[in-house]
Amino acid sequence: MKNRLFSLLLFFLFIFYSCERQKPIEKVIDESLSFSTKQYELMLEVMKEKSDLLPRTIDTTGALVTSRSNWWTSGFFPGSLWYLYEYTHDEKFRDAAKLMTARIEKEKNNTGTHDLGFMLYCSFGNGLRLTGEESYNDVMLTGARSLSTRYRPNIGCIQSWNSRKGWQCPVIIDNMMNLEFLMWAFNKSGDSTFYNICVNHSDTTIRNHFRPDFSSYHVVSYDTITGKVEIKQTHQGAADESAWSRGQSWGLYGYVVMFRETGLARYLDQAVHIADFLINHPNMPEDMIPYWDFDAPGIPEAKRDVSAGAIMASALTELSSYGDSVAGTKYLQVAEKQLRSLASPAYRAKSGENGNFILMHSVGSIPGNSEVDVPLTYADYYFIEALIRYRKLLDKNQ
Ligand code: GLY
């Protein structure tokens, strides 16, 4: 009798999990967006009281860690709130997004960082797109000019970090993510300087950051006098010659954007090559959420980086609409798999837990022993973005 009961239980569990696996993607997306709104309502209550600060991650005790506006991730929480306003049309999210966006305004004059695209475009950029708020134009144009001061004409790149660790002019693959902001400035102002910076930066990065297999280095440092490559290394990856996962996702996303914004076929080719490198990589796990580095020691026990998976899912969803349809279908299938994985209990937090962040298990920097296996505000941002992008594709194809 006991054995029969146990067999029945197993049978029902099998049916239950089979049904779960087959849940329509629309349902997975709507459930995740609905969960995100609830989780971020809780985050909002906490953040309203913390004037001038933005959420970043949690510490080892589970307590919320915040940042000031000059930290590179400051724009992601406001940006996520804008996306949630787009999804819900609820004025509460619009007002909250405005409030959090305003906390970053002073960074428009910051010429000491290359991260202004992340900081200002995710926040003010989404706000402008959704509300047409006139004053955001000035903030963003000022910010775009500040970012442009970091362009080095003899190198053909925007300088990422100020010189450090013996690097004269370090340029990181992440920097591809600032170009969407400058392309917006070109379209708004008609000033071709912005366009030329973006195209030169993208072309120099194709030449020097990528290996023959289309994986990329993290840091390429240039000689400031000759403009030639000084050294190729890593800062957050497992080794100079490894493929640091988030960097690969930044590169993919960056070239998808550059194709969208310029129509230049070489950027689509580059995006397709990077996507194929990632999707076909022997160390890509079955659930398509990458280890923190494709060459991490200890795979398959190595930590995952959920942020890399979320950025990749968002980029692949957009890429699926470009180029040939067979490849497009493949990219969309991978993005769907990634969204299903991220939405599962393996990666998505429980309500009110995880410091009110949405996703668990990201990695900031393992070599720096910083933010290891934690929620990160940018993982949430790109997850929400990917969900909304995928939802729009479904609506379009209905
Ligand atoms: N741009 C910094 C990072 O991806 O960690």
- Phi and psi for 364 in degrees, rounded to 5? -80, -70
pLDDT of residue 398: 81
pLDDT at 397 over 80: yes
Nearest CA among 96, 94, 52, 92 for reference residue 74: 52
Q: Is the CB of 56 under 6 A from ligand 1?
A: no
pLDDT of residue 16: 55
The count of domains in the chain is: 1
Q: Which two tokens stand for residue 48?
A: 């309203």
Write the pLDDT tens digit of every residue in 147-181.
999 999 999 999 999 998 899 999 999 999 999 99
Q: Would 190 be classed as within a structural domain?
A: yes
Q: Is the CB of 174 under 6 A from ligand 1?
A: yes
CA dist 376 and 118 (Å) reads 14
373 belongs to the catalytic site: no
| Proportion of the chain above pLDDT 90, given as a percent | 93
Q: What is the mean pLDDT of the chain?
A: 95
Mutate to test the pocket of ligand 1, among 173, 174, 292, 362 (most ligand atoms within 8 A of CB): 174
115 belongs to the catalytic site: yes
- Protein residue whose Cα sits closest to atom 2 of ligand 1: 174
pLDDT of residue 4: 53
Contact 171, 159 (CB under 8 A): yes
Which is more confidently placed, 174 or 22?
A: 174
Average pLDDT estimate for 357-363: 98
Q: Would 350 be classed as within a structural domain?
A: no
pLDDT of residue 11: 46
> Ligand 1 centroid vs 248 CA: distance in angstroms?
11
Domain that holds residue 180: 150-233
- What separation in angstroms does the CA of 315 have from each of 17, 189, 349, 366, 372? 29, 26, 23, 24, 24
Q: Please identify, by atom number, the ligand 1 atom nearest to the C-alpha of residue 177.
A: 1
Peptide bond into 300 cis (omega under 30): yes
> Ligand 1 centroid vs 174 CA: distance in angstroms?
6
pLDDT band at residue 10 using 50, 70 and 90 as cut-offs:
very low
* Residue recorded with tokens 């010429």: 111
> Ligand 1 centroid vs 16 CA: distance in angstroms?
39
pLDDT band at residue 206 using 50, 70 and 90 as cut-offs:
very high
Catalytic-role residue among 138, 174, 213, 240 = 174
> Ligand 1 centroid vs 360 CA: distance in angstroms?
17
Q: Structure pTM? A: 0.95
Contact 343, 23 (CB under 8 A): no
Instruction: Give the three-class secondary structure for 233.
Output: strand
| Proportion of the chain above pLDDT 70, given as a percent | 95
pLDDT of residue 21: 59
Q: Is the CB of 246 under 6 A from ligand 1?
A: yes
pLDDT at 27 over 50: yes
CA dist 107 and 124 (Å) reads 11
Q: Would 258 be classed as within a structural domain?
A: no
- Protein residue whose Cα sits closest to atom 1 of ligand 1: 174
Write the pLDDT tens digit of every residue in 91-143.
999 999 999 999 999 999 999 999 999 999 999 999 999 999 999 999 999 99
Contact 161, 152 (CB under 8 A): no
Contact 155, 169 (CB under 8 A): yes
> Ligand 1 centroid vs 330 CA: distance in angstroms?
27
- Phi and psi for 229 in degrees, rounded to 5? -65, 130
Q: Would 353 be classed as within a structural domain?
A: no
Q: Would 194 be classed as within a structural domain?
A: yes
CA dist 394 and 398 (Å) reads 6
Q: Please identify, by atom number, the ligand 1 atom nearest to the C-alpha of residue 250.
A: 4
**Going by C-beta distance under 8 Å and a sequence separation of 6 or more, which residues neighbour residue 365?**
235, 236, 371, 372
pLDDT at 18 over 70: no
pLDDT at 3 over 90: no
Catalytic-role residue among 30, 59, 90, 115 = 115
Nearest CA among 325, 245, 328, 346 for reference residue 290: 245
